[in-house]
Structure 1
Amino acid sequence: MKRRQFLGCLTAAASSYVLVACGGGGTDALGNIASGGDSAVADAAAGVTASPNGTTVPSASKIVDNAGNVWTLSKGYVYKNGVKDSHAYNMTMLLWYNGAIYGENTSKAFYQYVGPSWKQCLDPRLGGTSADGTAIPPATYIIDKSNNYWTMSNGGVFKNGVQDRTAPSAAMLLWYGSLFYLKTGTGQFYVRSLTGEWLTCTDPRIAKAAKAGSFYGINGHYDYPFTPTQTAAALQALGCTTYRLGCVNTAKQLNPVVAMAKQFQTAKLDLFTLINYGLRDGSGTLYTSEAAAYSAVHANAAAIAKALAPYGVTTYECGNELTRDPAIILNSTTAGTSHNDFNNANWPIMRGVIRGMIDGVKSVQPTARCGVNFCVADVAAADMLWDGRQPDGSTGHPAVRWDVTTWHNYSPYGDIFNIGTDGAGPGFNLPVYCKARYGVPFMITEWNAGPEYTEANRSTYVGKQLTEFYNARQSDQIESVMFYELTSGDYTYGIVLDNLTAIQPTYGTFQTFVKQHADI
C-alpha cells in the first residue's frame, strides 16, 4: 500500500519590532542626558532596589528595574540611566509590570521594551488572552490570541479601537473556541470566520450530544486479506462498532463491500461507506464542467446505495479528500482557511461530483445520511460549498447540504480542537465552529500519527487523542472517530498486521481505552 502524504508543519512568521513613533523626526542623539540625569546615573550605580510591581511614571518620578537600571521620562522622551532612548518618543507614561518596562504614547498605544527596540503590545494590566466564554456584556473588553483588544459600543464592534464596519449590529460579542461570535438584538448569531467575514450560525455554547453506539471506529479496505467474519471479529476484539470502507461501482470493489454489509448486519456493527469518486473520468481526464461531473457520478452513487441499503447501511461519505486534489488546492501546504487557497476554475467540478454523489444516494435511499469530507483546516472550503460561493467571492451557485460533517485529522495537521491557520498562527476549535455553522453531527473519519512515529509514541498519541475526542463527543456532537487503519500491511498505520496479530503497545492502549470509556 502506498505511503500516505502528510502536510508538513509550518511555522509562524516572527513578530517584527516597531518604533514607538514612526516618522516623528527630530529625536536627539543617543547619549543626551535629561534634566536630572546625573541623579539617575547615581541611582543606577548605587544598585537601588527594584520598584514595586505596577509602578508608573508619572506618578512616580522613576522606575528601577531588576537589573538596577533607572528609567525616567521627560518631555515625551524615555531615559535609561540618564541616556535618551532614540527609539522612544511621544511617550506619556512608563510602566513597570511583571519584570518588564512598558510605555504608552500620545496615541494611547502600548509598547514593551525588548532592548534596544520596543514591540507594540497591549496594556499588560489588562491580562492575557481572555478566558473561553468571555462575553461583552458583562465584560468590557476581550483580548484574543493575537493580543488584539476588542470592545463594543452602541452595537458597533471595535478591534484595537477601529470599528469593524462589516459586523452586524451587536447586542453581545462572545469569545468561544478561540473565535468571535456575535448575537444581534433579534437573537441571530454570527461567527467571524478566518477570512474576516461574519457568517450566520447558531450559539456555539449549546451542547449537542452525539448519537451513542458508533463512537469507536476504524478504517479498512475492500481488498484486505481476510474474510468479513474475521473483520467483524477483529473490530469486536478492539471494541469498535463502526467500520469505514470505500468503493466505486465496480464488481471488484462493490461485491466485497456488500459481503461486508451482510456480515455486519448479523454482527450488529455499522458499515460506514465511502463512495470514492474523484474529479476525473476513467481515463484520468478532469471533468469538463459541473454538469458533466454531476452526471458522471450520480448513477454510480445510486447503484452503490441500492446494493447496500437492504443490509442496513444508512450513512455514506461522498468523496475522499477532494479539497486536497491538485486540481483544487493551489498549494498543498496551506491549511484551507482562505478562499484564495482553492482553484476557482475547477471548483465547480468538485462541487458537481459531491452533489452528484449526494443526490444519487438519496434518489434510491431518501432517508440515508450523506457526509462531505474535509482535511487539515478546510473551513473556507466547507463554507463556500455550504453557502454556494466560489473562491473568487461570487455567490448564487448551487449550495451543498450534507447530513454529517466529516474531517481528517492526522498529527501533522495539529490538534483539531486548537488547529492553526496555514499550520501557524493562533489555533481555534474546529468542531465547535462546524457545530455552530452547519448544525449536523461531526465525524473524524481518519486520524492517526505520522508514519515516522515509533509505536511507543503512537501509543501515547492514540491515548491522548481518544481522550480529547471522547470528552467532546457529548458537547460538540462528535458521533464517530475512525482510526486509520486496521492494517496497512506494515507498521506505518495499522493496529494489526495482515495476519491480525496485534501491534503493541498501540493496540493495547486503544483496546483499554474503549473498555474504560463506554460509548453511551
Structure 2
Amino acid sequence: MINRRQFLNGLAALGGSYVLTGCGGGGSDLGADGSAVVKAMSKTAAAASANGTTVPSATSIIDYQGSVWTLTGGSVYKDGVKAGNNYNVALMLWFGGGVYHQGTGGQFYGWNGSTWIACNDPRLGGTSADGTTIPSASYIIDKAGAVWTVVNGVIYRNNKTVGNTYNVTLLLWYGGKIWHRGTGSQFYVLSDVSTSWLPCADPRIVTAATAGTFFGINGHYDYRYTPAQVVSIMKSTGCSTYRVGCTDDPVQLNAVAKLAQAFQSAGLTLFVLINQGIYDNNRVLLANESVAYNRGKACAAAVATALAPYGVTMYECGNELTRENDIILDSTNAGTKAVDFSNTNWPVMRGVMRGMIDGVKSVQPAAKCGINFCVADIGAADALWDGMQPDGSGGYPKVRWDLTTWHNYEVYGDIFNIGTDGAGPGFDLPTYCKARYGVPFLITEWNTGPESTQAYRATYISTQFANYFKARKTKNVQSVMYYVLDSGDATYGLMVDGVALTQPYGAFTGFIASNPDV
C-alpha cells in the first residue's frame, strides 16, 4: 500500500507537468516572468473546494486546476468523464491537494492522474509517533502505512485480524515494531512471520548495562605485539575490553592464555571468541547435529579449561555462523525472516552453538556465553531461542545464551533503525533483543568499509560512538568492540605495527577520554 507522502509527492510531480503543459509554447499574454500563468493558477486555486470536502455531503469537488469531480451511480467522474476504473464508491474526498475515494468495503484510493492507487484515509496522517498506544489512541499507523486497531480485545491490521489475539488490553507502536499486552500482563511482539506473536518483555523498560566494559576493541592471537604491549596499548587508548578469537588448537590457545594472564594482572577484560565453525578441518560441513554438538562442546571445554585460571568469564560461541554460505540462502537478505536460512543445514549450526555453550558451562558454570548474529538476523535469533526450524516447525532444542552479540558494519545500516533486506521499514534492533531475550547486548564488531578515507573513518568513529554510548543506559548495550586494533594496513585498524593512524586513532581515543564509562 502506498503511503500518503509517496502519493502526494507523485501528485505534486503530476501537477507540475500539468501546469507546464498548460503553459504550452507561449503566447502574447505570457509575460517573461510567467505572471499570467501565476494569476491563472491563483484563480483556480482560490476557486478550489475547501480542504476536507467530501461527496456526500457536498455535490461536487473542484481541484486546483478547476476540474469538477462528481459522484454518480457509485462512480467518480472528472469533468463529466468517468475517472479510471472505479465502482461502488461510497465517499469522495478532497484532501491535501489530492482526490480520494472510499469503496463500500472501506478501502481508500488516491488519484495519481491516470489511475487509482490503494492508500489509507489521508485524514489519518502519517506514521504514528513512537510510543503511541491503543488506548488512548484509536488507531496506529506503522511505517508501511498499515492501520492497526483493537476491537473487542482483538487486533486488526487494515481491518483484518493478525494471528490469534484476544483479551488485548494494550497495543503499542515502539521502536519500529508492533507489540501488545493481554489481560495476563504478558507482552508479545509481531515476529518476522506476519501472524506470529512472540512472548517478550515490555520494550519500554529502561535497562542500563553494567559499567566498566563498554569501550572495546578487536585483536588477533597471532599479532606481533607481546601481551605486555597489548596491555599498554589498551591503557593508552582507554579501552577496557579486548576481543580475541581462538579454537582448541594449541598454538592459538597458548597465545590467548598468555594474553589472559597479562590482562588479569592489569585488571582488563578479555572477551574470548571460541572460533569453532560448522565445518571440519577439510572445510566439509559437519555430518549432523550430534556431531556438531560434540565438536563444539569439546572445543569450548578445552578453551575454558585453559583460560578459567586467568579470570576469563565471558565467551562468544561462534563467529558469524548465520552468514556461512551453507546457512544463509541469499547473503543479500537481512535475516529478519527465519525462511532466509537453510532448513537442511540449520541443525548443524544449532548443534555447534549448543555444544559450545555446554562446553563452557561444564568447566565454568557461572561464565557468560554469547551467540553472534549479523545484519538484522532476528529471524535466526528467534528461531534458535524458541527451538524452531526455518520452515516453522518446532519442538527442537532451544539455544539460550547469556549475551546477545551482534556485528554492525556501516553497510548493514543503523542498528537502531535497521532495515529489512536493505530497504524495508527500519526497527530498533537492540530494543527488540532487550525485550525478546532479556540479556545484555554487545556489538562485538563495528566499523565502516575498507575503502573509506582516514578522515571519513574518524568522523564515523565519533558519530557511532555517540550513538552507541547513549544506548548503554537505556537499551542494555554492555560493550562495543571496534574492529580492529591493527589490520596490517590502513583499511580497518587504528595503527600499523604500533604506529597510530592519526585521524581514526585520535577520534577513537578522544571520544573515550571525554566520555567515561561510569
Output the TM-score relative to the length of structure 1: 0.88
1:56 Cα offset (Å): 2.4
Asked if the contact 1:305/1:361 (under 8 Å) is kept, the reply is yes
Relative contact order: is structure 1 or structure 2 higher (C-alpha 8 Å, sep ≥ 6)?
1
**Closer/same/farther in 2, CA of residues 76 and 243 from structure 1, 3 Å limit:** same
**Structure-1 residue corresponding to 2:298:** 299
Q: Tell me, in whole angstroms, the C-alpha distance in 1 between the residues paired with 2:362 and 2:340.
A: 33
Q: Which amino acid aligns with 1:178?
A: G
Q: Tell me, in whole angstroms, the C-alpha distance in 1 between the residues paired with 2:317 and 2:41.
A: 71
Q: Tell me, in whole angstroms, the C-alpha distance in 1 between the residues paired with 2:292 and 2:42.
A: 79
Q: Which of 40, 47, 52 is matched with 2:44 structurally?
A: 47
Query: How many matched pairs?
Result: 480
Asked if the contact 1:173/1:180 (under 8 Å) is kept, the reply is yes
Say yes or no: does 1:308 pair with 2:307: yes
Q: Which has the higher helix share?
A: 2
Q: Which amino acid aligns with 1:174?
A: L
Q: Tell me, in whole angstroms, the C-alpha distance in 2 between the residues paired with 1:250 and 1:161.
A: 59
Q: Tell me, in whole angstroms, the C-alpha distance in 2 between the residues paired with 1:48 and 1:446.
A: 56
Q: Which amino acid aligns with 1:214?
A: T
Asked if the contact 1:417/1:428 (under 8 Å) is kept, the reply is yes
**Structure-2 residue corresponding to 1:19:** none
Asked if the contact 2:45/2:65 (under 8 Å) is kept, the reply is no
Q: Secondary structure at the match of 1:226?
A: coil
Post-superposition Cα deviations, 1:282-309, rounded to whole Å, max 9, x if no partner, equal 2222111111111123122111111111
Unaligned runs of at least 5 residues, structure 2: 1-5, 8-39
**Structure-2 residue corresponding to 1:387:** 386
**Structure-2 residue corresponding to 1:225:** 224
1:63 Cα offset (Å): 3.0
Q: Secondary structure at the match of 1:336?
A: coil
Q: Tell me, in whole angstroms, the C-alpha distance in 2 between the residues paired with 1:130 and 1:411.
A: 27
**Structure-2 residue corresponding to 1:178:** 176
| 1:193-232 → structure 2 map (5 Å cutoff) | 193-196=191-194, 197-232=196-231
Asked if the contact 2:434/2:441 (under 8 Å) is kept, the reply is yes
Unaligned runs of at least 5 residues, structure 1: 1-14, 17-42
Q: Tell me, in whole angstroms, the C-alpha distance in 2 between the residues paired with 1:455 and 1:401.
A: 40
Q: Which of 85, 88, 110 is matched with 1:87 structurally?
A: 85
Q: Tell me, in whole angstroms, the C-alpha distance in 2 between the residues paired with 1:291 and 1:45.
A: 77
**Closer/same/farther in 2, CA of residues 45 and 416 from structure 1, 3 Å limit:** closer
**Structure-1 residue corresponding to 2:142:** 144
**Structure-2 residue corresponding to 1:154:** 152
Q: Which amino acid aligns with 2:298?
A: A
Q: Secondary structure at the match of 2:475?
A: coil
Post-superposition Cα deviations, 1:291-328, rounded to whole Å, max 9, x if no partner, equal 11111231221111111111111100000011111111
Q: Tell me, in whole angstroms, the C-alpha distance in 2 between the residues paired with 1:64 and 1:511.
A: 63
Which of 311-320 and 81-90 deviates more?
81-90
1:461 Cα offset (Å): 2.1
**Structure-1 residue corresponding to 2:436:** 437
Asked if the contact 2:404/2:442 (under 8 Å) is kept, the reply is yes
Asked if the contact 2:84/2:114 (under 8 Å) is kept, the reply is no
**Structure-1 residue corresponding to 2:483:** 484
**Structure-2 residue corresponding to 1:516:** 514
Q: Which amino acid aligns with 2:355?
A: G
Q: Which amino acid aligns with 1:512?
A: G
Q: Tell me, in whole angstroms, the C-alpha distance in 2 between the residues paired with 1:116 and 1:409.
A: 43
Say yes or no: does 1:398 pair with 2:397: yes
1:168 Cα offset (Å): 4.6
Percent identity at matched positions? Answer: 56
**Structure-2 residue corresponding to 1:21:** none
Q: Secondary structure at the match of 1:96?
A: strand
Asked if the contact 1:431/1:476 (under 8 Å) is kept, the reply is yes
**Closer/same/farther in 2, CA of residues 308 and 443 from structure 1, 3 Å limit:** same
Q: Which of 470, 489, 498 is matched with 1:500 structurally?
A: 498
Asked if the contact 1:44/1:68 (under 8 Å) is kept, the reply is no
**Structure-1 residue corresponding to 2:289:** 290
Asked if the contact 2:211/2:517 (under 8 Å) is kept, the reply is yes
| 1:63-82 → structure 2 map (5 Å cutoff) | 63-82=61-80
Q: Tell me, in whole angstroms, the C-alpha distance in 1 between the residues paired with 2:259 and 2:326.
A: 33
**Closer/same/farther in 2, CA of residues 165 and 460 from structure 1, 3 Å limit:** same
**Closer/same/farther in 2, CA of residues 142 and 45 from structure 1, 3 Å limit:** closer
**Structure-2 residue corresponding to 1:377:** 376
